[in-house]
Structure 1
Amino acid sequence: MGRKYTEEEISMILDTYMYLGYQEASKEPVELKEVIGKLSGVPEYGTGGTYQNEYRILEQAVQDEQIGNLKVCYASSTLGFDHGTKACTFLDEKNDRIFVAYRGTGDGEWPDNGLGMTKEITTQQQRAVDYFDTVARKAQLTENHRVIVTGHSKGGNKAQFVTMETEFGDLIDRCYSVDGQGMSEKADARFRRKYSEAEYQGRIQKLYGIHGENDYVSPLGNQIIPEDHVTYIRTPVQKGNFAGYHDITYMFATLVLDRTTGKWVTQFTGRRNEEVLKQGSLGKYASELSKEIMKLPEEEREGAANVVMQGIEAAGGASHGLNGEKTTLADVKHFLFAGIPAITDATTKTAGGLNFLGKTLWEDSYTKEIPDRICIEVDYEALASKSEGLSAAAEETIRLGEQIQSYEKEMPFYMQGRNLVTFQLKQVASEVEHLGKKIQKLASLQQEIAACYQKADEQTEELCNQ
């Protein structure tokens, strides 16, 4: 028999389970090994399947009774919570221990991540608290139970928030946030207002961070986890797999040389990798970037974050967030005029950014001295030219709307008035004209951006010539 799983490792295994794309629908507790057994032979979990890595980790881990005998219960979907909540509870009846796990960012939740950089409490954070409170009552939790709250990525952020916010905070023994982002200043201020200093510190001391050595999400936001409660885990990721640095499965991965092909292949086991002594270069860069973003005024920070998060959501096929969040023109302006300069400063003016950029640009950067200044030039003339094209397109669109409107006015008298054809013509004319005006606004915005970058380039050229 191998070494016993630690509480942290069990939490990470359960966080991995939350990504399987499967939630046990039974309202009665079911052993985890039975749930994993049901998935055997299902294509999605086999070689080449969507969840093959997660399944391989769980398949091996449940062979140990510490994990296999855990009982899955209170899936959020069976308690009436929306699909964005994605939480589950695991009972360790032998040791009177309860694990409450939250899944990372689900469909429609990316915009809520952005709001978490500025808001005191987001909709999804509140639902996470509601879920825990519901479980605490249903399971009749007492001080005789050992209660662990955990989650990966956004799930880690939710786990932290629940630990700080729930009315049942005295019952929580530990919170393990795996790659979970930090809080907004408003959220931390909320907690400080809500509790005495002793109560606040009591909850803070329950928070533990377990992060991939080069994870780029956990450094975001205001960090409330004590520094001496943070550990970094080796995450062997093959070159080009940027997403792997924030993928929990790579904390269970090993790179093995295939002697037949001469290529490195990734294998996944049911055991977590070893700890490393310090944060990697990508993680340090993410920390520097977060500091620059958090310096922005709240409105600019929220707008810039919203553009990024809505973009990720759109890449998944959704036009807005789970709770109706949408990107506005003001958000785009904040991203372009505040977000991009902050990203540029973090990349080219900080030690962490320069180190990361150097290792990205130069293969021999581990031995080569990294320059203390990197100059970036933007082709503002091309931007201005594109804005002129947009402006011309806007004028054509507005003219088209006016033309459609004239058709409606030229209809025979017996076709005018309240009928379907004239109504639809008026509606289409109005929509086309409105679209033209929106394009015109975008053209004006791009012209402003070009002027802004022209000024920045002139300043950069002057700086680089010093």
Structure 2
Amino acid sequence: MGRKYTEEEISMILDTYMYLGYQEASKEPVELKEVIGKLSGVPEYGTGGTYQNEYRILEQAVQDEQIGNLKVCYASSTLGFDHGTKACTFLDEKNDRIFVAYRGTGDGEWPDNGLGMTKEITTQQQRAVDYFDTVARKAQLTENQRVIVTGHSKGGNKAQFVTMETEFGDLIDRCYSVDGQGMSEKADARFQRKYSEAEYQGRIQKLYGIHGENDYVSPLGNQIIPENHVTYIRTPVQKGNFAGYHDITYMFATLVLDRTTGKWVTQFTGRRNEEVLKQGSLGKYASELSKEIMKLPEEERAGAANVVMQGIEAAGGASRGLNGEKTTLADVKHFLFAGIPAITDATTKTAGGLNFLGKTLWEDSYTKEIPDRICIEVDYEALASKSEGLSAAAEETIRLGEQIQSYEKEMPFYMQGRNLVTFQLKQVASEVEHLGKKMQKLASLQQEIAACYQKADEQTEELCNR
């Protein structure tokens, strides 16, 4: 029999479960080993499947009764919460212990991550609190039970926020935030206003951070977890797998040499890797970058963060966030003229950034001299010219829509609105005009960006000539 699972390790296993893409929807508690057993043989969880790594970890972990006998209940989907919340509760009846786990960024939640860099409280943070409060009432939690709140990535941020915000804070014994980002200054100020110093510190002392050695999300934002409550875990990620540094499964990974091919192969086990003494080069760079971003005025920081998060959301096929968030022209400006310079400074003017740059270039360290000024050159004349071409095409598209609409109106009155052809003409005309207006907005955005770069260029030249 191997070593006993610690509370921290059980929390990490449950955080991994939340990524399986499967939540037991039964309103009656069901043992975790039964849930995992049901997934055996399903292609998505087998070799080459989407969730093969997560499943492999859970498949081994549930062999231990500490984890296998946990009962899954109160899935957020069964309690009326949106598909972004994704939370679950796990009952350890033998030890009278409760785990409440939040999944990382859910569908449509990326923009909410950006808002968390500046807002006092975001919509999804509030829903996480609502979920915990609902469970506390339904399960009739008491101080006689040990209650643990946990989550990975955004789930870790939610776990921290819940621990600090919920009206049932006295019931929470421990919070384990795994790779979870920090808070905004406003959120921390909210907590300090809400409680006495003793109450505030009492909740803070319940927070613990468990981060991958090169995780790049946990350093973001204002850190409220005490430094002596943070541990780093070995994450053996092969070079080129950037996403792996923030993937919880790599905290359970081992690199094994395949003697047949001579290549390293990643294997996943049901046990967490050992702790390391310090943060890795990528993690340190992320810390430096966060400091530069947090120095920005709130409006610029919010805009830059929104562009990045909306971009990630758009990559998944969604034009807006779960709660209707969208990118504005002002956001784009803040990203271009505040966000990019902050990223450049963090990369070229800090020890963490230079070390990371060296590692990225496959060197032990970066020793080349970095100039005092780094110029980003943009051909704004070409950008403006392209926007003019797009604007002309937009006008032609709108005219085409109007022309199609005129054909429908010129049809005999006894045919108008009375058959499929006229209906389709109206529909096509509307869609073409709508496309033309979208093209106009894009052309206007390009023109505005070109003008901003031109103005910046002229101001720089004026300063140089003084």
The normalised TM-score by structure 1 is 0.89
C-alpha separation between the residues in 2 aligned to 1:189 and 1:334? 25
Whole-Å separation in 1 of the counterparts to 2:322 and 2:359: 38
* 1:337–1:449 CA contact under 8 A, matched in 2: no
Q: Quote the offset at 1:430 in angstroms.
A: 7.3
Deviations 1:114-140 (A, max 9, x none): 221222222211111111112112222
More deviation in 335-344 or 82-91?
335-344
Structure 1 window deviating more from structure 2 (19-28 vs 402-411): it is: 402-411
Shift of 1:166: 0.6
Partner of 1:372: helix, strand, or coil? coil
Cα 1:349–1:367, aligned 2, differ >3 Å: closer, same or farther? closer
Distance 1:300 1:4 in 2: 48
Matched, 1:229 2:224: no
Tell me by how many angstroms 1:444 deviates. 3.9
C-alpha change, 1:236 and 1:381, in structure 2 (3 Å) is farther
Offset, 1:251: 0.5
Partner of 2:288: 288
After superposition, the C-alpha distances for 1:131-153 in whole angstroms (9 at most, x for unaligned) are: 11121122221111111100001
Note if contact 1:348-1:374 (Cα within 8 Å) is conserved in structure 2: no
Q: Which runs of 5+ in 1 are unaligned?
A: none
* Cα pair distance change 1:373/1:442, threshold 3 Å: same
CA apart distance, 1:201:
0.9
- For the residues of structure 1 that align with 2:52 and 2:463, how far apart are their CA atoms? 51
How far apart are the structure 1 equivalents of 2:148 and 2:391? 57
Structure 1 residues 201-251: Cα deviation after superposition (integer angstroms, max 9, x where no partner) = 110111111111111111112211111211111111112111111100000
Could you tell me whether the CA contact under 8 Å between 2:292 and 2:342 is conserved in 1? yes
Q: Does the 8 Å contact 1:303/1:331 carry over to 2?
A: yes
CA contact (8 A) 1:348 1:373 kept: no
Deviates most, 435-444 or 162-171: 435-444
**After the TM superposition, which of the residue ranges 408-417 and 27-36 deviates more from structure 2?**
408-417
Any idea what the Cα deviations from partners look like across 1:407-451, whole Å, max 9, x if unmatched? 678677888999999999788767756654553443343234335
The change in CA–CA distance for 1:293 and 1:427 in structure 2 (over 3 A counts) is farther
The whole-number CA distance in structure 1 between the counterparts of 2:313 and 2:429 is: 31
Alignment CA distance shift 1:421-1:97 (3 Å)? same
Q: 1:435 to 1:372 in 2, by over 3 A?
A: same
Shift of 1:20: 0.9
- Show the counterpart of 2:438: 438
Q: CA deviation at 1:384?
A: 3.5
Cα 1:372/1:208, change in 2 over 3 Å: farther
Classify 1:370/1:338 alpha carbon distance in 2 versus 1 (closer, same or farther; 3 Å): closer
CA deviations on 1:42-92 (whole Å, 9 max, x unpaired) are: 211111111110111111111222212222222222222222221111122
- Partners of 1:354 and 1:372 within 8 A in 2: no
Q: Distance in 1 between matches of 2:142 and 2:227?
A: 30
Query: How many angstroms does 1:309 deviate by?
Result: 1.8
104-113 or 318-327, which moves further after superposition? 318-327
Deviates more, 1:160-169 or 1:339-348: 339-348
Structure-2 residue corresponding to 1:203: 203
Distance 2:307 2:451 in 1: 21
Q: Give the equivalent residue in structure 1 for 2:138.
A: 138
Identity %: 98
TM-score by length of 2: 0.89
1:157 is matched with 157
Alpha-carbon distance, 1:104 to partner: 0.7
Report the CA distance shift for 1:141/1:464 in structure 2 as closer, same or farther (over 3 A): farther
Inter-partner Cα distance in structure 1 for 2:113 and 2:413? 56
RMSD: 3.2
Distance change in 2, residues 1:379/1:30 (3 Å): same
**SS state at 1:261 partner:** coil
Q: Distance in 2 between matches of 1:392 and 1:354?
A: 45
CA contact (8 A) 2:348 2:370 kept: no
SS at structure 1 position matched to 2:82? coil
Query: CA 1:382 to 1:284, structure 2 compared with 1: closer, same or farther past 3 Å?
Result: farther
| Superimposed CA distance per residue, residues 1-55 of structure 1 (whole angstroms, 9 cap, x where no aligned partner) | 1111111111101100111111122222222222212222221111111111011
Residues 1:55 and 1:406: Cα distance change in structure 2 (over 3 Å) = closer
Between stretches 349-358 and 260-269, larger displacement belongs to: 349-358
Contact 1:97-1:147 at 8 Å conserved across structures: yes
Which stretch of structure 1 is more off in the superposition, 247-256 or 128-137?
Answer: 128-137
> Are the counterparts in 2 of residues 375 and 460 from structure 1 also a CA contact under 8 Å?
no
Residue 364 of structure 1 and its aligned partner are, at CA, apart by: 5.3
Instruction: Tell me if structure 1 keeps the 8 A contact 2:357–2:366.
Output: no
Q: Over residues 149-174 of structure 1, what are the superposed CA-to-partner deviations in whole Å (9 max), with x where a residue is unaligned? A: 00001110110010001111011111
Q: Deviations over 1:367-398 (max 9, x none)?
A: 87877776554444543443333233234334
Change (3 A) 1:49 1:426: closer
Secondary structure of the 1:339 match is helix
Contact conserved, 2:75 with 2:89, CA < 8 A, in 1? yes
Structure 2 CA distance for partners of 1:237 and 1:292, relative to 1, 3 Å: same
What is the alpha-carbon distance in structure 2 between the residues aligned to residue 389 and residue 347 of structure 1? 36
Moved more, 397-406 or 147-156: 397-406
CA contact (8 A) 1:214 1:282 kept: yes
Deviation, 1:113, is 1.4
Superposition deviation, residue 197 in structure 1: 1.2
Indicate if the aligned counterparts of 2:149 and 2:175 stay in contact, CA closer than 8 A: yes
The 1:363/1:396 distance shift into structure 2, 3 A limit, reads farther
**Contact 1:136–1:168, Cα closer than 8 Å, also in 2:** yes
Number of the residue aligned with 1:306:
306
How has the CA–CA distance of structure 1 residues 71 and 265 changed in structure 2, closer, same or farther, with 3 Å as cutoff?
Answer: same
Per-residue CA distance 1:273-318 (angstroms, 9 max, x = gap): 1111221221222222222222333333323322222222222222
Superposed displacement of residue 326, structure 1 = 2.7
SS, match of residue 370 in structure 2? coil
Separation in 2, partners of 1:326, 1:63: 45
Decide whether aligned partners of structure 1 residues 407 and 293 sit closer, same or farther in structure 2, where only a CA change above 3 A counts.
Answer: farther
Map of 1:168 onto structure 2: 168
- Closer, same or farther in 2 for the Cα pair 1:442/1:142, shift >3 Å? same
